Structure 1
Amino acid sequence: MTDAPLRIGYVPEHFSTPLYFAQKHFGLQAALTAFPSGTGHMITALRENEIDVAIGLTEGFVAGLGKEDTPGDGGYRIVGTYVETPLCWAISTGAKRPEISSVSSLKNSKVGVSRIGSGSYVMSYVLADKEGWLANTSSSDVGPYKDFVVLQTFDKLRNAVNDGTADFFMWEHFTSKKYYDSGEIRRVGEIYTPWPSWKIVASTSSVPNPAKDQRLQDLFRKLDQGVKYFGEHQDEAVEYISTALDYSKEDATEWLKTVRFCTETAGVDVKVIDNCISILRKAGVLQEGKGMQAPEMLVSGLGEQLP
């Protein structure tokens, strides 16, 4: 089992480029599985032993381990850092929804999410907290939104805000921009994650000892090489993003100015996870005194992660 190539889940968006380079140019031996529906789906796949490692959004992974009803041992631990910069979540509605004119129009509306527990779900609560919509929602049957509409994929989310199934959804800015330019959806606003945006996690069942798992150590080495290559070959990155993925060359070039990948992917700063937990508690996603604490979510012996 330990000799089998790692099964790695990833989101098939522009952020996956260094992972692609790690496999193409540096011989990463792994089976890559795309999860267009994002972090929440990868958490399910980890728990069902469909993948060994996942690269996804910080808030989704932290929320997945921090809830009081997390099953068993949670199914995974946070072992690495992929992207150091925050993520810009664009807030979108339908092209012909004049009643939705600003972020303030979204209170008590129907929010489309990929999955319960996904980044799009978690960030809707961070938005509600920022806008002050949580002040009068202490009752368990009252929340900042009328409903959460689970729609799995980005294309279904776009359709939903146009046919009225949902009123708005949140997705990464540059992934959304093509559809603003085409007029399919309309941008209402944005919100940035108050933490570095992408982490790497490993299954507790198939990677029980991450610090000594040679496959995981190889992933970190090859991913570091992929990140370095990405930084030194921006033209190749733009070419890949604009041909293999759903972006224009102009948008890919602009995105490169906004993103900073971690040059040493192994390990996690526990303070980052603590901060994420604190904000998710404030937003009502996690509850004080319940669920895992930050040190329990991490693995010792991987980078400079513990104080």
Structure 2
Amino acid sequence: MILYIAKRLSAGIVLAVLVTFLTFLLLSTSFQDVVRTILGPSATPETVRGMMAAKGWDRPVVVQYLDWLSHAVRGDFGVSVYTSLPVGPSVLQHLAVTLSIIIPALVLTGIIATLLGVWAASRGGAADRFAQGISLVGYLVPGLLLAIGLVVIFAVQLKWLPATGFTPLTEDPSAWLRSITIPVIVLMIGGIANMAAQVRGRMIDELRQDYVRTLRTRGISTRAIVFKHALRNAGSPALTVFSLEFIQMFGAALIIENVFALPGYGSYAFNASLQGDIPVILGITAFGVLLVVVVNLLTDLVNGWLNPKARVR
């Protein structure tokens, strides 16, 4: 198991280094444009070169990247070009807002999709058709349209929930819950459709296996067969979808945060990209890659626990 973890962790570190280096390489072509934007249209070539030298952006790209990487591994991601605020704490502050939406949505999605998929596979008939109908609706309804509809109903007409804004959990738990309710529902709909379909398909395959028939002949209850045996064997593919769903929700945060005016990771990344704030973009990229690496590592560990054969890959 230790070797398995070390292999997965090493692959994640290599991925993080490659992605951040490629990002740095692409951004290096716009260093002069960022400096001209900061200095304004009246900046002379000498002024531009002076600021480039002051920031160290006139050095070879590889040297600059290694210098950035040596500071990043110690937790120093530089400061914002425009606000002069430390990048690391700023990214973490906005990331906390995004995760406070994604984590509840992901947990609820996993629970509801698993129960729905197991129910559809084990009952069949009307239950299966109902579950497939729910999945179809989740696939067909655009998230943006759903968000607008929920805001109109629950925020504008009923006035039960706020239409925009975010309240930190530490300030007011009830206000925090109200502020994330609609965004969480929007994120959940598509996720439930994807996961429920995957769980249903895998459970149907498992319930047709010979070992299930053997267990039934021994008098094992259907509930025990479904939850203790079949669901465990079907869990590995479902976990892969679960990790991919996290990444998809993370990407959808840009749209959700702009619709609901949330000061999260996606809106922070969007504004930094518009401004050309290079240290912030690098910090956002690094944190994003590390988060994906951690999620994939945890998924691999759980997969290895559920299916020991996966450890040898």
Q: Which has the higher helix share?
A: 2
TM over 0.5: no
The TM-score, its normalising length taken from structure 2, stands at 0.24
Q: Which has the higher strand share?
A: 1
Which protein is bigger by CA-based radius of gyration? Answer: 2
The TM-score, its normalising length taken from structure 1, stands at 0.25
